Amino acid sequence: MVPVGIVGANGFLGGELVRLLAQHPHARVAALCAGRSAGQQLSDIRPSLRGPADGPLEAFDADLLASRCEAVFLALPHGKSAEAARELRARGVLVIDLGSDFRIADPAAHARWYGREPGAPELLDSAVYSLPELTGPPPADAGLIANPGCFATALALTLAPLAPALGEGTEVTVFGVTGSSGSGIEPQAGTQHTLRVNSFTAYKPLRHQHLGEVEQLLARRGAVPRVRFVPHSLPAPRGIHLTVVLDAATVGDVRARYEAAYGEAALVDVVDGVVPMGAVLLSCRTLLGVEPRGDDVVVTCALDNLLKGGSGQAIQNLNLVRGWSETAGLPVVGSWP
Protein backbone atom coordinates (compact mmCIF):
# COMPACT_ATOMS: atom_id res chain seq x y z
CA MET A 1 0.00 0.00 0.00
CA VAL A 2 1.36 3.41 -0.98
CA PRO A 3 1.41 5.83 2.00
CA VAL A 4 -0.24 9.20 1.26
CA GLY A 5 -0.80 12.37 3.25
CA ILE A 6 -3.70 14.82 3.26
CA VAL A 7 -3.12 18.47 4.13
CA GLY A 8 -6.39 20.21 4.98
CA ALA A 9 -7.86 16.91 6.14
CA ASN A 10 -10.72 18.44 8.12
CA GLY A 11 -11.93 20.57 5.19
CA PHE A 12 -14.64 19.50 2.77
CA LEU A 13 -12.31 18.09 0.12
CA GLY A 14 -9.86 16.77 2.71
CA GLY A 15 -12.71 14.91 4.41
CA GLU A 16 -13.79 13.31 1.13
CA LEU A 17 -10.17 12.24 0.51
CA VAL A 18 -10.09 10.60 3.94
CA ARG A 19 -13.38 8.81 3.25
CA LEU A 20 -12.36 7.53 -0.20
CA LEU A 21 -8.80 6.57 0.72
CA ALA A 22 -10.07 4.53 3.68
CA GLN A 23 -11.35 2.06 1.06
CA HIS A 24 -8.62 2.43 -1.55
CA PRO A 25 -7.04 -0.87 -2.66
CA HIS A 26 -3.52 0.53 -3.25
CA ALA A 27 -3.11 3.60 -1.02
CA ARG A 28 -3.36 4.18 2.72
CA VAL A 29 -3.52 7.39 4.72
CA ALA A 30 -0.22 7.93 6.56
CA ALA A 31 -0.60 11.57 7.67
CA LEU A 32 -3.46 14.00 8.28
CA CYS A 33 -2.58 17.69 8.56
CA ALA A 34 -4.64 20.78 9.34
CA GLY A 35 -4.13 24.42 10.21
CA ARG A 36 -5.91 25.77 13.30
CA SER A 37 -7.37 22.34 14.04
CA ALA A 38 -3.98 20.66 14.45
CA GLY A 39 -3.86 18.71 17.71
CA GLN A 40 -7.51 17.67 17.53
CA GLN A 41 -8.88 14.26 16.59
CA LEU A 42 -10.34 14.37 13.05
CA SER A 43 -13.55 12.60 14.09
CA ASP A 44 -14.16 15.14 16.87
CA ILE A 45 -14.53 17.75 14.09
CA ARG A 46 -15.99 15.46 11.39
CA PRO A 47 -17.92 12.67 13.18
CA SER A 48 -18.75 10.99 9.85
CA LEU A 49 -15.06 10.17 9.43
CA ARG A 50 -14.77 8.04 12.56
CA GLY A 51 -13.26 4.75 11.41
CA PRO A 52 -10.19 3.25 9.79
CA ALA A 53 -8.72 6.51 8.46
CA ASP A 54 -9.55 8.57 11.54
CA GLY A 55 -6.62 10.01 13.46
CA PRO A 56 -5.02 13.01 15.15
CA LEU A 57 -4.50 16.11 13.00
CA GLU A 58 -0.92 17.34 12.83
CA ALA A 59 0.53 20.70 11.82
CA PHE A 60 2.06 20.84 8.33
CA ASP A 61 5.66 19.65 8.49
CA ALA A 62 7.35 18.88 5.15
CA ASP A 63 10.07 16.70 6.72
CA LEU A 64 7.52 14.64 8.60
CA LEU A 65 5.32 14.25 5.50
CA ALA A 66 8.31 13.31 3.33
CA SER A 67 9.42 10.70 5.86
CA ARG A 68 6.00 9.05 5.89
CA CYS A 69 4.40 9.67 2.49
CA GLU A 70 5.11 9.03 -1.20
CA ALA A 71 2.32 11.37 -2.27
CA VAL A 72 0.56 14.27 -0.57
CA PHE A 73 -2.80 15.83 -1.43
CA LEU A 74 -3.05 19.56 -0.71
CA ALA A 75 -6.65 20.62 0.00
CA LEU A 76 -5.92 24.16 1.14
CA PRO A 77 -7.50 27.58 0.59
CA HIS A 78 -6.33 29.56 -2.45
CA GLY A 79 -2.79 30.86 -2.03
CA LYS A 80 -1.84 28.36 0.69
CA SER A 81 -0.60 25.51 -1.52
CA ALA A 82 2.35 27.29 -3.09
CA GLU A 83 4.75 27.16 -0.13
CA ALA A 84 3.62 23.68 0.95
CA ALA A 85 4.18 22.35 -2.59
CA ARG A 86 7.57 24.03 -2.80
CA GLU A 87 8.72 22.34 0.41
CA LEU A 88 7.34 18.94 -0.53
CA ARG A 89 8.73 19.01 -4.07
CA ALA A 90 12.17 19.92 -2.67
CA ARG A 91 11.94 16.62 -0.79
CA GLY A 92 10.85 14.61 -3.84
CA VAL A 93 7.25 14.03 -2.75
CA LEU A 94 4.53 13.75 -5.41
CA VAL A 95 2.09 16.62 -4.82
CA ILE A 96 -1.52 16.64 -5.99
CA ASP A 97 -2.91 20.12 -5.41
CA LEU A 98 -6.69 20.44 -5.25
CA GLY A 99 -6.51 24.22 -4.97
CA SER A 100 -5.93 26.81 -7.64
CA ASP A 101 -2.30 27.83 -7.06
CA PHE A 102 -0.91 25.79 -9.98
CA ARG A 103 -3.81 25.52 -12.43
CA ILE A 104 -2.93 28.51 -14.60
CA ALA A 105 0.51 28.26 -16.18
CA ASP A 106 0.88 31.90 -17.22
CA PRO A 107 1.71 34.09 -14.18
CA ALA A 108 0.02 37.14 -15.73
CA ALA A 109 -3.19 35.19 -16.40
CA HIS A 110 -3.05 33.81 -12.85
CA ALA A 111 -2.80 37.35 -11.47
CA ARG A 112 -5.67 38.48 -13.70
CA TRP A 113 -8.04 35.75 -12.53
CA TYR A 114 -7.01 35.57 -8.87
CA GLY A 115 -6.00 39.15 -8.17
CA ARG A 116 -2.54 38.18 -6.92
CA GLU A 117 0.75 36.87 -8.22
CA PRO A 118 1.30 33.08 -8.10
CA GLY A 119 3.03 32.06 -4.86
CA ALA A 120 5.53 29.65 -6.44
CA PRO A 121 6.05 30.84 -10.05
CA GLU A 122 9.14 28.65 -10.45
CA LEU A 123 6.93 25.53 -10.18
CA LEU A 124 4.30 26.55 -12.75
CA ASP A 125 6.15 25.05 -15.73
CA SER A 126 6.41 21.64 -14.09
CA ALA A 127 2.79 21.55 -12.87
CA VAL A 128 0.61 19.15 -14.89
CA TYR A 129 -2.98 20.38 -15.22
CA SER A 130 -4.83 17.09 -15.31
CA LEU A 131 -8.45 16.60 -16.33
CA PRO A 132 -7.81 13.06 -17.57
CA GLU A 133 -10.72 12.70 -20.01
CA LEU A 134 -9.42 15.75 -21.91
CA THR A 135 -5.72 15.98 -21.13
CA GLY A 136 -4.91 12.26 -20.98
CA PRO A 137 -3.27 10.52 -18.03
CA PRO A 138 -0.59 12.57 -16.28
CA PRO A 139 2.93 11.35 -17.14
CA ALA A 140 4.35 8.75 -14.76
CA ASP A 141 7.19 11.13 -13.81
CA ALA A 142 4.89 14.04 -12.92
CA GLY A 143 5.90 15.59 -9.59
CA LEU A 144 3.16 18.20 -9.24
CA ILE A 145 -0.38 17.69 -10.46
CA ALA A 146 -2.84 20.60 -10.56
CA ASN A 147 -6.33 19.21 -10.06
CA PRO A 148 -9.00 21.22 -11.94
CA GLY A 149 -11.66 23.32 -10.23
CA CYS A 150 -15.20 21.98 -9.80
CA PHE A 151 -17.01 24.35 -12.19
CA ALA A 152 -13.99 24.19 -14.52
CA THR A 153 -14.34 20.40 -14.74
CA ALA A 154 -18.01 20.68 -15.69
CA LEU A 155 -17.44 23.55 -18.14
CA ALA A 156 -14.48 21.88 -19.83
CA LEU A 157 -16.14 18.45 -20.14
CA THR A 158 -19.22 20.15 -21.64
CA LEU A 159 -17.51 22.56 -24.01
CA ALA A 160 -14.20 21.03 -25.12
CA PRO A 161 -15.63 18.46 -27.58
CA LEU A 162 -17.87 21.18 -29.09
CA ALA A 163 -15.28 23.98 -29.26
CA PRO A 164 -13.93 23.11 -32.75
CA ALA A 165 -17.47 23.32 -34.18
CA LEU A 166 -18.30 26.49 -32.24
CA GLY A 167 -15.11 28.19 -33.38
CA GLU A 168 -12.91 30.95 -32.06
CA GLY A 169 -14.73 33.76 -30.32
CA THR A 170 -18.27 32.40 -30.77
CA GLU A 171 -20.36 33.33 -27.75
CA VAL A 172 -21.71 30.51 -25.60
CA THR A 173 -23.83 31.33 -22.55
CA VAL A 174 -23.76 28.75 -19.75
CA PHE A 175 -26.14 28.74 -16.78
CA GLY A 176 -24.65 26.91 -13.78
CA VAL A 177 -25.61 26.07 -10.21
CA THR A 178 -23.49 24.82 -7.32
CA GLY A 179 -24.11 23.52 -3.82
CA SER A 180 -22.83 25.42 -0.80
CA SER A 181 -19.94 23.00 -0.08
CA GLY A 182 -18.21 24.55 -3.10
CA SER A 183 -17.12 27.44 -0.88
CA GLY A 184 -15.41 25.38 1.80
CA ILE A 185 -15.98 24.73 5.50
CA GLU A 186 -15.47 28.30 6.70
CA PRO A 187 -18.94 29.91 7.21
CA GLN A 188 -19.62 32.84 4.88
CA ALA A 189 -22.66 35.00 4.18
CA GLY A 190 -23.20 33.23 0.86
CA THR A 191 -23.07 29.73 2.32
CA GLN A 192 -24.81 30.16 5.69
CA HIS A 193 -27.90 27.90 5.75
CA THR A 194 -30.29 30.55 7.09
CA LEU A 195 -29.54 32.94 4.26
CA ARG A 196 -29.18 30.38 1.50
CA VAL A 197 -31.93 27.84 2.02
CA ASN A 198 -34.91 30.02 1.01
CA SER A 199 -33.10 31.96 -1.65
CA PHE A 200 -31.50 31.66 -5.08
CA THR A 201 -29.09 34.02 -6.73
CA ALA A 202 -26.46 34.44 -9.41
CA TYR A 203 -22.94 35.35 -8.33
CA LYS A 204 -19.73 36.42 -10.08
CA PRO A 205 -21.60 36.70 -13.44
CA LEU A 206 -19.19 36.47 -16.41
CA ARG A 207 -16.18 36.65 -14.08
CA HIS A 208 -15.91 33.36 -12.19
CA GLN A 209 -12.22 32.55 -11.68
CA HIS A 210 -12.57 29.03 -13.16
CA LEU A 211 -13.01 30.60 -16.61
CA GLY A 212 -9.25 31.21 -16.63
CA GLU A 213 -8.32 27.53 -16.53
CA VAL A 214 -11.11 26.64 -18.98
CA GLU A 215 -9.79 29.18 -21.49
CA GLN A 216 -6.28 27.78 -21.01
CA LEU A 217 -7.43 24.21 -21.62
CA LEU A 218 -9.50 25.16 -24.69
CA ALA A 219 -6.61 27.22 -26.11
CA ARG A 220 -4.25 24.23 -25.77
CA ARG A 221 -6.69 22.17 -27.85
CA GLY A 222 -7.45 24.83 -30.51
CA ALA A 223 -10.45 27.14 -30.83
CA VAL A 224 -11.61 29.15 -27.81
CA PRO A 225 -15.28 30.18 -27.84
CA ARG A 226 -16.20 33.13 -25.66
CA VAL A 227 -17.77 31.49 -22.60
CA ARG A 228 -20.36 33.68 -20.87
CA PHE A 229 -20.78 31.78 -17.63
CA VAL A 230 -23.34 32.75 -14.98
CA PRO A 231 -23.03 30.63 -11.81
CA HIS A 232 -25.82 30.44 -9.21
CA SER A 233 -25.93 29.47 -5.53
CA LEU A 234 -28.10 26.40 -5.10
CA PRO A 235 -29.77 25.91 -1.69
CA ALA A 236 -28.30 22.39 -1.35
CA PRO A 237 -24.98 21.20 0.09
CA ARG A 238 -23.39 19.55 -2.93
CA GLY A 239 -23.64 19.14 -6.70
CA ILE A 240 -23.05 21.09 -9.91
CA HIS A 241 -25.44 21.40 -12.84
CA LEU A 242 -24.90 23.30 -16.10
CA THR A 243 -27.33 24.13 -18.91
CA VAL A 244 -26.28 25.37 -22.36
CA VAL A 245 -28.51 26.06 -25.37
CA LEU A 246 -26.66 25.69 -28.68
CA ASP A 247 -27.51 26.37 -32.29
CA ALA A 248 -27.93 22.96 -33.94
CA ALA A 249 -26.70 24.13 -37.33
CA THR A 250 -23.43 25.29 -35.74
CA VAL A 251 -22.66 22.37 -33.42
CA GLY A 252 -23.98 19.53 -35.58
CA ASP A 253 -24.43 16.12 -33.97
CA VAL A 254 -23.58 16.89 -30.34
CA ARG A 255 -24.19 13.35 -29.15
CA ALA A 256 -21.73 12.01 -31.75
CA ARG A 257 -19.12 14.58 -30.70
CA TYR A 258 -19.48 13.55 -27.05
CA GLU A 259 -19.40 9.84 -27.91
CA ALA A 260 -16.17 10.39 -29.87
CA ALA A 261 -14.63 12.22 -26.90
CA TYR A 262 -15.95 10.10 -24.02
CA GLY A 263 -16.87 6.72 -25.52
CA GLU A 264 -13.99 5.08 -23.64
CA ALA A 265 -14.22 7.24 -20.51
CA ALA A 266 -14.98 5.34 -17.30
CA LEU A 267 -16.35 8.37 -15.45
CA VAL A 268 -18.26 10.34 -18.12
CA ASP A 269 -21.59 9.09 -19.45
CA VAL A 270 -23.53 10.64 -22.32
CA VAL A 271 -27.32 10.20 -22.38
CA ASP A 272 -30.32 11.44 -24.34
CA GLY A 273 -32.48 14.09 -22.68
CA VAL A 274 -31.63 16.25 -19.68
CA VAL A 275 -29.66 14.97 -16.69
CA PRO A 276 -30.75 15.41 -13.07
CA MET A 277 -28.07 16.51 -10.61
CA GLY A 278 -29.24 13.98 -8.01
CA ALA A 279 -28.13 11.12 -10.24
CA VAL A 280 -24.44 11.87 -9.71
CA LEU A 281 -24.36 12.85 -6.04
CA LEU A 282 -21.87 10.83 -3.97
CA SER A 283 -20.43 9.36 -7.16
CA CYS A 284 -17.41 10.33 -9.25
CA ARG A 285 -19.39 10.26 -12.47
CA THR A 286 -20.19 13.12 -14.82
CA LEU A 287 -23.43 12.92 -16.77
CA LEU A 288 -23.88 14.81 -20.04
CA GLY A 289 -27.39 15.04 -21.46
CA VAL A 290 -28.21 15.98 -25.07
CA GLU A 291 -31.70 17.05 -26.09
CA PRO A 292 -32.19 18.33 -29.66
CA ARG A 293 -35.22 20.63 -29.93
CA GLY A 294 -35.97 22.13 -33.34
CA ASP A 295 -33.11 24.39 -34.38
CA ASP A 296 -31.53 24.14 -30.94
CA VAL A 297 -29.77 21.58 -28.80
CA VAL A 298 -30.02 21.67 -25.02
CA VAL A 299 -26.95 20.25 -23.26
CA THR A 300 -26.93 19.60 -19.52
CA CYS A 301 -24.04 18.46 -17.33
CA ALA A 302 -24.11 17.17 -13.76
CA LEU A 303 -21.34 16.19 -11.37
CA ASP A 304 -20.62 16.14 -7.66
CA ASN A 305 -18.37 19.12 -6.88
CA LEU A 306 -16.63 17.27 -4.04
CA LEU A 307 -15.94 14.13 -6.12
CA LYS A 308 -15.45 14.50 -9.89
CA GLY A 309 -15.14 18.21 -9.19
CA GLY A 310 -12.53 17.71 -6.45
CA SER A 311 -11.38 14.77 -4.32
CA GLY A 312 -12.55 11.98 -6.64
CA GLN A 313 -10.71 13.51 -9.58
CA ALA A 314 -7.60 13.94 -7.40
CA ILE A 315 -7.65 10.21 -6.61
CA GLN A 316 -8.33 9.46 -10.30
CA ASN A 317 -5.12 11.40 -11.00
CA LEU A 318 -3.17 9.47 -8.35
CA ASN A 319 -4.47 6.20 -9.83
CA LEU A 320 -3.38 7.18 -13.34
CA VAL A 321 0.05 8.54 -12.41
CA ARG A 322 0.77 5.36 -10.44
CA GLY A 323 -0.55 3.12 -13.24
CA TRP A 324 -3.42 1.69 -11.19
CA SER A 325 -6.98 1.18 -12.41
CA GLU A 326 -8.39 4.65 -13.15
CA THR A 327 -11.40 4.12 -10.88
CA ALA A 328 -9.64 2.35 -7.97
CA GLY A 329 -11.27 3.46 -4.72
CA LEU A 330 -13.79 5.68 -6.51
CA PRO A 331 -17.58 5.42 -6.21
CA VAL A 332 -19.06 5.14 -9.70
CA VAL A 333 -22.64 4.63 -8.53
CA GLY A 334 -24.47 7.54 -6.91
CA SER A 335 -26.97 7.79 -4.07
CA TRP A 336 -30.30 9.50 -4.73
CA PRO A 337 -32.49 10.44 -2.93
User: Which one among 5, 10, 102, 110 touches ligand NAP, defined by CB under 6 A?
Assistant: 10
- Radius of gyration (Cα) for the chain, nearest Å? 19
DSSP 309: I
**309 or 334: whose CB is closer to ligand NAP?**
309
Asked if residue 242 binds ligand NAP (CB under 6 A), the reply is: no
Asked if residue 316 binds ligand NAP (CB under 6 A), the reply is: no
Using CB under 6 A, which residues numbered 51 to 70 contact ligand NAP? 60
Beta strand spans in the chain (E): 2-7, 27-33, 71-74, 94-97, 127-129, 144-146, 171-178, 201-202, 226-233, 240-247, 268-272, 286-293, 296-303
Q: Name the maximum alpha-carbon separation found in the chain.
A: 61
Asked if residue 310 binds ligand NAP (CB under 6 A), the reply is: yes
Q: Which element (helix H / strand E) includes 227?
A: strand 226-233
Which residue type, as a one-letter code, is found at position 113?
Answer: W
Asked if residue 184 binds ligand NAP (CB under 6 A), the reply is: yes
Q: Point out which span in 48-56, 138-146, 181-189, 323-331 binds ligand NAP (CB under 6 A).
A: 181-189
**84 or 297: whose CB is closer to ligand NAP?**
84
Asked if residue 77 binds ligand NAP (CB under 6 A), the reply is: yes
Rounded CA separation 241/158 (Å): 11
Q: Which residue is nearest to ligand NAP (CB)?
A: 11
Asked if residue 98 binds ligand NAP (CB under 6 A), the reply is: yes
Q: Point out which span in 28-36, 130-138, 154-162, 210-218 binds ligand NAP (CB under 6 A).
A: 28-36
Asked if residue 8 binds ligand NAP (CB under 6 A), the reply is: yes
The site that binds ligand NAP (CB under 6 A) totals a number of residues, namely 32
User: Which one among 158, 191, 233, 305 touches ligand NAP, defined by CB under 6 A?
Assistant: 305
Please choose, from the candidates 299, 208, 218, the residue with its C-alpha nearest in 3D space to the C-alpha of residue 253: 299
DSSP string, 164-199: HHH-TT-EEEEEEEE-GGGG-SS--TTT-HHHHTT-
How many other CB atoms are there within 10 angstroms of residue 294's CB atom?
Answer: 6
Rounded CA separation 270/281 (Å): 16
Rounded CA separation 74/103 (Å): 13
Q: Catalytic positions, please?
A: 150
Asked if residue 209 binds ligand NAP (CB under 6 A), the reply is: no
Using CB under 6 A, which residues numbered 117 to 176 contact ligand NAP? 149-150
Residues that bind ligand NAP (CB under 6 A): 7-8, 10-14, 33-37, 60, 75-78, 80, 98-100, 149-150, 181-182, 184-186, 305-306, 309-310
